[in-house]
Structure 1
Amino acid sequence: MRVYADLHVHIGFSNGRYIKVPSSKTLTLENIIKTAKDEKGLNVISIVDFLCKDVIDETDKLLDKGKLELKDGSLYSEGLLIIPAAEIELRFCSNDFHCLIFFEDYEKLKDFRKIIKTYFNQIDFSCPVFRGQISDFERIVSSFGLLAVPAHAFTPYKGFYSAAQRVEEVFKKIEVFSIELGLSADSKMVSYLCDVQKRSLLSNSDAHSLKNIAREFNEVEIEYVSAKDVIKSIKENRIVANYGVNPKLGKYHKSYCKECNSSFNLKSQDLILCPFCKSNDIVIGVEDRISWLYKTENPVEKPPYFYTFPFELVQGFGQKTIQKIIDVFENEINFIKSLNNGTFKNYNIDENIAQKLVRFMNQDYTVKFGAGGHFGRIIFE
C-alpha cells in the first residue's frame, strides 16, 4: 500500500510550556494531529521533538484518555500513524548541522532518553545540542537501531552540506540510508550528486506552524502502517514520489548579499563576493551549494518530484480562495494529487481559479526567486 507522510514536523507548545521559541501556542500535539488528518490528508506524520519530557508526558496523558493508541510500539490517532523522532544538532570540524533520528518503538524512545540525556544540552527544548563526538553519536544510533537522516541537508543554516562535502566524511560507522532535501531543492537538482545515488530522498515540511504541515511530503510504499515498516521502506529506497514547493520559491534558493539585499548565483566558490557591492557578507544559496558538491556522470533516476501549491506564495490566492478549494477537495493532498494528474478540471471550481490552476500545472507563470531567508513568489502576468 501507499501512504502520504510528512516526516519532519515541530511541536511549539506542549504540556503548558514552549518547546520551540518562537512559535504559536496553537502548535500543539493535538492540533498537529487534527490538522494532519482532517485538513492535510496525511496518513503518517513524524514529530521531531519527542526527546522533550513535556511531549512524552503529554503523549502519555493522551494515551491514558484513549485519544491515542499504542499498538506494537507504534502510536496512532484514528488511523494516523505518529512516528516519534528527534532533530538534534551535531558538530563536525567546528561546523554545526542538524540530523533527524527516528524511533520504531515508543517505549524504546523513553529508554533512549533516560540513557543518553547526559549527552545533550537543553534536551527538553526543540533541537537539543549533542555534546559528544560524531563517533559517540554513531555508537548510540547503532546500539538503538535508529534511522539517522541529515536534515534540510542543502540549506545554508545548519544544513549538512554547509558542514561537509560528503556523507562518508562525517559518518564512518553507521549507514546513512536517506537525505532530507529541505526547502530550495528538489530531486532533479541533486540527481547528479554522488551522495544521493544509492540513498532515498525525503521531502518533509520542517513545519513550524500548522499551515505548513504537508507543504512537503512523501508518497511511500509500505507493507503495514507502522513505524517499523515506514522506516524499513525508507531504508529500502521505496519512496514512490516526492512532493514539495518549486525550489525556485525556497527562501535559500539563490545566494544573497546581506549588505545590499541582492540575490544572484556565485561564479566560484573560491571568491565568495557580491557581484554588485563586493561585500563578503553572503548567504550561500542552495543552487550554488549543490553545484559545488561531488558529482557522478551516470546518475540513478530518482522518483518523480511533484510541486505542491504554495497558496501564500501565489498571486491572487487569499484565505477565501484557499477555503473554497479545500471545501471542494476535502483536504490539501487530494487537491495536490488532482492538480498533478489534471483531474481537478472535473471538479466544480470557479472559472478564474481553474484558469490559474491550469497555468500553474503548465508552469506558465513568472517566478520571483527566493533568497536570503525570503520566500519567492509566483506571479501570473
Structure 2
Amino acid sequence: MLKYLDLHIHSRYSRACSRDLTLENIGKACEIKGIDIVATGDFTHPAWFKSIENELERAEDGASDSFLYALKGSRSKTRFMLSTEISLIYKAQGKTRRVHMVIHAPSTEAVRSLNSYLEKGYKIKSDGRPILGMSAPDLVSLCLSIDPKFLLYPAHIWTPWFSVFGSKSGFDTLEECFGDQTGSIYAIETGLSSDPEMNWRFSGLDSLTILSNSDAHSLNNIAREANAMDLDTGSYDEIYEAIRNKDLEKIKFTVEFYPEEGMYHFDGHRACAVSLKPEDTRGLGGICPKCGKELTIGVLNRVEELADRPQGYRPKISASYVKTVELDKIIAETLGIKSRNSKQVKRIYDRLADVCGNELQALLETPYDVLAEAGSAAIAEAIKNMREGRVLTVPGFDGQYGHVRVTGDGRSKTSQAGLFASDWD
C-alpha cells in the first residue's frame, strides 16, 4: 500500500517553531495533509520526549524491538517515527564544520539511552534541535553502539551554513565528513533548495537513498516535501530496510518543493537585494556588486561545483519525483490574496481536502473536474499547470524564500521527473 512519509519536522520546543506543534495537532494535520507516517521531531529535548512517552504508544506487535508509535486513545491513523535533528559544530581538517543530522530511533528505550548520554555533556534542554560539539562520525558511532537500528543521515545537504556539502562550512565528499562511518550512512536529505535531479549530478551519492522531508516549523508546512513508499506492514523495520538497501520496489517517488522556492537556491546578498546565477557570481569573484561584501553561495552553485555529470543526467537506479506547490498557496494565488492564512483560503482548502481526501490527493491525483467543482475552475487550472510544470519561478537566495507562480502569463515548462511526464530513459 502506498504511504506518504514526512520524516523530518520539529516540535514546539525548537527555536522559531510554532507553539501549535503538539503531537495531537501534528497527528490531525497529517490526516488533512495526507501524511501516513511522520517524524516526532526533537526527541532529544527532555520535555518533548516526556510528551512522546506520555502521549504515544507502540503501534506494532511482534518479536521486533523496533517500533512506530500512535497517539494513545485516539482513532487517528497517523503513525510516528521517533526522530530528531542535531546540529554538530566541530573542527575537522583545519576548519570549523557545521553539519545537521537527522536521526531516527527504533524505540523509546534507545532514545532514553542516547539522551542519558548526551545530557551529561551537552545542553539538550536549550533547544529542540540541540547543538553538540561532536563530530559526525562520533555521533554515528555513538548511536549505533546504543542500537544498530538507529538510522542517521545528513539533513538538507547543500544549504550554505549547516550541511555536509554547504558552501560555508561543508565538505566535498561524504568520506571527508564521515570517515570510517561512511558505510553506515544510507541516505541523504535533499533540502528545499535542491531536488533529486540536482543530486543525480554527483556520482558520490549514487548508492544512497534520496529522501525529501518538510523540515516543518509549523503545521502548515508539513508535507511540503515527502516520500512515497509502497509498504506491506508499514513497520519501522520495513522502512529502515527500504532506506538502507535503496529498495526501489518500495521507495516509489519523492514529493518536492520547486527548488527555486527554497531560500538558498541562488547566490546573493539579502541586505542588498542582490540575487545571482552561479555564472554571474563567478564573474563577480563572489563579491556583492553593491556593497563589496562576500556573497552567500547558494545550493545551485555548490551543486555545479561538485557535480561530475551534466545537467539532466539520471542514474539507472533512481526513484522518480514530482514537484508541487502547497495547496493553500495555490488557492491564495488564484484568489489574488497575499496571505495563505486568510479565512477565505482556509474555507476553500478545507472543502478541497475533504472532497479529495487530503491535500496530497488534491495535488497529485484528483481529476480536474472534481477540483473545479469543489474549488473553482481557476484552482483546477492552476493545479494542472503545477502538475505539468508550467510555472514561473523567482529563485530564493541568502535566506529569502523564492516564489512559484502557477497562474498568469510568463510561465514556462519545467521538468517533472516521473508522475506527470513520460519516464526518462
What is the TM-score of this pair, normalised by structure 1? 0.88
Deviations 1:50-101 (A, max 9, x none): 11111221122224xxxx4454542123432211112111234312110011
Aligned residue runs from structure 1 range 189-204, under 5 A: 189-204=198-213
Counterpart selection for 2:43 from 46, 50, 74: 50
Post-superposition shift, 1:261?
Answer: 0.9
1-10 or 218-227, which deviates more: 218-227
Instruction: Supply the distance in 2 between the matched residues of 1:88 and 1:269 (Cα, whole angstroms).
Output: 36
In structure 2, the CA distance between the partners of 1:135 and 1:253, relative to structure 1 (3 Å rule), is closer
Match of 2:27 in 1: 33
Instruction: Supply the distance in 2 between the matched residues of 1:338 and 1:10 (Cα, whole angstroms).
Output: 28
Match of 2:413 in 1: none
Deviations 1:127-152 (A, max 9, x none): 11222344432321331222111001
94-103 or 350-359, which deviates more: 350-359
Query: Any conservation in 2 of the 1:193–1:299 contact (CA below 8 Å)?
Result: no
Q: Secondary structure at the match of 2:272?
A: coil
In structure 2, the CA distance between the partners of 1:123 and 1:201, relative to structure 1 (3 Å rule), is farther
In structure 2, the CA distance between the partners of 1:376 and 1:111, relative to structure 1 (3 Å rule), is same
Instruction: Supply the distance in 1 between the matched residues of 2:284 and 2:87 (Cα, whole angstroms).
Output: 28
Match of 2:416 in 1: none
Instruction: Supply the distance in 2 between the matched residues of 1:133 and 1:249 (Cα, whole angstroms).
Output: 31
Match of 2:87 in 1: 89
Deviations 1:311-366 (A, max 9, x none): 45542255144334223212112112216xxx344553422222222222223332
Unaligned runs of 5+ in 2: 409-425
Query: Any conservation in 1 of the 2:155–2:189 contact (CA below 8 Å)?
Result: yes
Post-superposition shift, 1:123?
Answer: 4.5
In structure 2, the CA distance between the partners of 1:122 and 1:108, relative to structure 1 (3 Å rule), is closer
Aligned residue runs from structure 1 range 163-202, under 5 A: 163-174=170-181, 175-202=184-211
Counterpart selection for 1:375 from 401, 409, 412: 401
Post-superposition shift, 1:183?
Answer: 0.6
Instruction: Supply the distance in 2 between the matched residues of 1:142 and 1:61 (Cα, whole angstroms).
Output: 26
* 4+ residue runs over 6 A deviation: none
Q: Secondary structure at the match of 1:148?
A: strand
Post-superposition shift, 1:207?
Answer: 0.2
Q: Secondary structure at the match of 1:248?
A: helix
Q: Does 1:279 align with 2:300?
A: no
Counterpart selection for 2:363 from 331, 336, 355: 336
Deviations 1:187-246 (A, max 9, x none): 011212022211111110000000000110001233422222212211111321010211
Q: Secondary structure at the match of 1:292?
A: helix
In structure 2, the CA distance between the partners of 1:223 and 1:311, relative to structure 1 (3 Å rule), is closer
Q: Secondary structure at the match of 2:116?
A: helix
Q: Secondary structure at the match of 1:27?
A: coil
Q: Secondary structure at the match of 1:25?
A: coil
Instruction: Supply the distance in 2 between the matched residues of 1:259 and 1:369 (Cα, whole angstroms).
Output: 16
Instruction: Supply the distance in 2 between the matched residues of 1:135 and 1:235 (Cα, whole angstroms).
Output: 18
Instruction: Supply the distance in 2 between the matched residues of 1:366 and 1:42 (Cα, whole angstroms).
Output: 27
Post-superposition shift, 1:249?
Answer: 1.5
Q: Secondary structure at the match of 1:375?
A: coil
Match of 1:309 in 2: 325
Match of 1:15 in 2: none
Query: Any conservation in 2 of the 1:179–1:199 contact (CA below 8 Å)?
Result: yes
Instruction: Supply the distance in 2 between the matched residues of 1:335 and 1:309 (Cα, whole angstroms).
Output: 11
In structure 2, the CA distance between the partners of 1:360 and 1:374, relative to structure 1 (3 Å rule), is same
178-187 or 103-112, which deviates more: 103-112
Instruction: Supply the distance in 2 between the matched residues of 1:208 and 1:42 (Cα, whole angstroms).
Output: 16
Query: Any conservation in 1 of the 2:9–2:222 contact (CA below 8 Å)?
Result: yes
Post-superposition shift, 1:270?
Answer: 9.8
Unaligned runs of 5+ in 1: 13-18
Paired residues, what number? Answer: 366
RMSD between superposed Cα atoms in Å: 2.3
Q: Percent identical across equivalent pairs?
A: 23
Aligned residue runs from structure 1 range 1-381, under 5 A: 1-12=1-12, 19-36=13-30, 38-63=31-56, 68-72=57-61, 73-74=66-67, 75-77=69-71, 78-90=76-88, 91=90, 92=92, 93-123=95-125, 125-143=127-145, 144-145=147-148, 146-162=150-166, 163-174=170-181, 175-238=184-247, 239-267=251-279, 268=282, 271-274=285-288, 276-277=289-290, 279-296=292-309, 300-301=315-316, 302-311=318-327, 313-314=329-330, 315-316=333-334, 319=345, 320-338=347-365, 343-347=367-371, 348-349=373-374, 350-379=376-405, 380-381=407-408
What is the TM-score of this pair, normalised by structure 2? 0.80
Instruction: Supply the distance in 2 between the matched residues of 1:135 and 1:202 (Cα, whole angstroms).
Output: 20
Post-superposition shift, 1:296?
Answer: 4.7
In structure 2, the CA distance between the partners of 1:372 and 1:316, relative to structure 1 (3 Å rule), is farther
Instruction: Supply the distance in 1 between the matched residues of 2:82 and 2:162 (Cα, whole angstroms).
Output: 22
Instruction: Supply the distance in 1 between the matched residues of 2:240 and 2:126 (Cα, whole angstroms).
Output: 25
